[in-house]
């Protein structure tokens, strides 16, 4: 089993990442450092910047992840501001913004940034297209899970349970990372 440090304060996220990486024989050691988030329109730059600073601070390689929900009809909002929007107007507020909106397409984007102290971060991206549900559904999820229906399923992430980890934006990004990590002989 290979252990990689993962900076997150979100236990649900850590649980998902563990389940995604299990088949690669990689586990994560959760590092509870305060994520340093620069304000930027690109979640890739946010994750990369944070990974670089934190790797230097803890003195070992680590992984940082940043996620955003980009809604087409809102020109990509909340995107990099997804956490702030969730904390403030919440799911109700987002559904209100989408009231009467026909085009409900959205993309969940996850960026994983891996960094060794003193080196440039390497990033991996996962994207899932889907739509914003008309109302919140499902009780398994967290964050925006109850209002996001990935394309090809008539269920929200929150209705899919652990199956979310087979198809999610996070699964795609972390699988790319895991393949690279193993191939580049960091294990
Ligand atoms: P962060 O990258 O952890 O800062 O996440 C940004 C926002 O998106 C937060 O409000 C999270 O709750 C939400 N979020 C991140 N990942 C997911 C997910 O897989 N499902 C639903 N919401 C998510």
CATH number, domain of 161, equals: 3.90.950.10
pLDDT digit string, tens, across residues 74-121: 999 999 999 999 999 999 999 999 999 999 999 999 999 999 999 999
| pLDDT, tens digit (0-9, with 9 covering 90-100), for 151-178 | 999 999 999 999 999 999 999 999 999 9
Question: Residue 186: pLDDT above 80?
Answer: no
| CA 86 to ligand 1 center in whole angstroms | 8
* Residue range(s) defining the domain that contains residue 92: 2-183
pLDDT category of residue 37 using cuts at 50, 70 and 90: confident
Q: What distance in Å separates the CA atoms of residue 123 and residue 147, rounded to the nearest whole number?
A: 27
Helix (H) or strand (E) holding 17: helix 11-21
Rounded CA-CA distance 66/131 in Å is: 20
Residue to mutate, 64, 80, 82, 155, ligand 1, most ligand atoms under 8 Å from C-beta: 82
What pLDDT is attached to residue 38? 83
Q: What is the pLDDT of residue 135?
A: 97
pTM across the whole model: 0.95
Of 184, 173, 182, give the one whose Cα is nearest residue 1.
182
Out of 143, 150, 161, 174, mutate this one to test ligand 1's pocket (max ligand atoms within 8 Å of CB): namely 143
Residue with CA nearest ligand 1 atom 11? 143
- The pLDDT of residue 187 is 59
170/108 Cα distance (integer angstroms):
9
Mean pLDDT of all residues in the chain? 95
Residues with beta carbon inside 6 Å of ligand 1?
10, 66-67, 82-83, 86, 143-145, 157, 168, 170
Res. 32: pLDDT tops 90: no
Total domains in the chain come to: 1
């Amino acid at each position: 089993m290979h252990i990689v440090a993962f900076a997150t304060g979100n236990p649900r996220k850590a649980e998902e990442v563990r389940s995604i990486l299990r088949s690669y024989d990689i586990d994560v050691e959760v590092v509870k450092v305060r994520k340093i988030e620069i304000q930027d329109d690109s979640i890739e730059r946010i994750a990369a910047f944070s990974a670089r600073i934190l790797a230097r601070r803890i003195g070992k390689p680590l992984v940082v992840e940043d996620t955003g929900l980009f809604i087409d009809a809102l020109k990509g909002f909340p995107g990099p501001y997804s956490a702030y929007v969730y904390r403030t107007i919440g799911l109700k507020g987002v559904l209100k913004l989408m009231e009467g909106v026909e085009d409900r397409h959205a993309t969940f984007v996850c960026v994983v940034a891996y960094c060794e102290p003193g080196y440039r971060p390497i990033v991996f991206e996962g994207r899932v297209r889907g739509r914003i549900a008309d109302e919140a559904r499902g009780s398994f999820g967290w964050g925006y899970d109850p209002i996001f229906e990935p394309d090809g399923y008539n269920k929200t992430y929150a209705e899919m349970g652990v199956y979310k980890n087979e198809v999610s934006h996070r699964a795609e990004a972390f699988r790319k990372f895991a393949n690279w990590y193993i191939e580049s002989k960091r294990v």
